[in-house]
Amino acid sequence: MSCSYSPKLFFFLLLHLFLASTEPIPSLPNVEKLSFHEGYTQIFGDSNLMLHHEGKKVHISLNERTGSGFRSQESYLYGFFSASIKLPSDYTAGVVVAFYMSNGDVYEKTHDELDFEFLGNVRGRDWRVQTNVYGNGSTSIGREERYGLWFDPTEDFHQYSILWTYDTIIFYVDDIPIREVKRVSSRDVYFPLKPMSLYATIWDGSTWATSGGRYKVNYKYAPFIAEFTDLVLHSCATHHALACASASVLSPEQRLAMESFRRRYMTYGYCYDRIRYAVPLAECNVGPEKELFLMSGESRAYERRHRMKRRPWRGTADPGF
């Protein structure tokens, strides 16, 4: 009997073994889930933000009138920030749901930012997840990465988290580290080093979010509702700094899970974009794996899967990403 190798099956098996053998990541003391009133405030959208279950669940929505959003009441210099999120389903082209850290309201020209951005799509096509890091106003130097997911983020809640310490940033999806950013040196001006607030928003990104703006928000499908729960704001202040620093050191199992995820699900990496950056940025350690990516930074493997997936849609509406 022959046996064929499936990278997707391998990832699922690795994921199962990983979750069965480790504690939730990161393992930090005194991490508490907050209600909306305990840590957050609405920033726009009036009735498009609704609270449920005594403020433990938050719905933010986008309709033709407005989007909506909220932010933390306090700002933080380093910490662990997390939420379980369920994204809108059906046709969501042009819709952007963002879960991010920023201090742009305080440092207009030198702001820092850590982003999870969820980019909607046409019916039958998957949401895409984008992460980005800005430091000291470096918005002209994009450090984007984009990924697919191994699940449908519209069917149930999934946890998205950011761990930020003085020299490391780690993005997590369901306790799996998907991206690690290290401070290059003490003189690295592009690493975020100023206090930031946490934000969650939903808005119309028709000009760029889906196929570079080809597909716009269609408000006949509105309202688009993103649901948030299990909200965590955990400061890595002085008395928690050691625990946060320890949690930012990935174990061999964590690193294996991250590398497996990135091989399978990363669809774009700025370090491999030789059109934007003829010389890779200082933090990029580019090796032979660059051959897995096109000049544009797009994954070759993703392009092949993408073309195969698109075939049934040829000649029909909503061709998508």
Catalytic residue IDs: 113, 117
Report d(CA 25, CA 86) in Å as an integer.
Answer: 20
Q: What angle do CA 270, 234, 111 make, to 5 degrees?
A: 45
- Calculate helix-pair angle for 7-21, 252-265, nearest 10 degrees: 150
What three-state secondary structure class fits 181? strand
Nearest to 192 by CA among 101, 129, 118: 101
Nearest to 32 by CA among 51, 54, 56: 56
Q: Which residues are registered as beta bridge partners of 34? A: 231
Amino acid at 316: T
Report d(CA 303, CA 300) in Å as an integer.
Answer: 5
Of all helices (H) and strands (E), which one includes residue 321? none
Within a 10 A sphere around the Cβ of 297, how many other Cβ atoms?
22
DSSP-assigned letter for residue 13: H
Maximum C-alpha span of the chain:
64
Written as six digits, the tokens of 12 are: 């699922």
Handedness of CA 233, 239, 241, 244 (dihedral sign): negative
Of all helices (H) and strands (E), which one includes residue 106? none
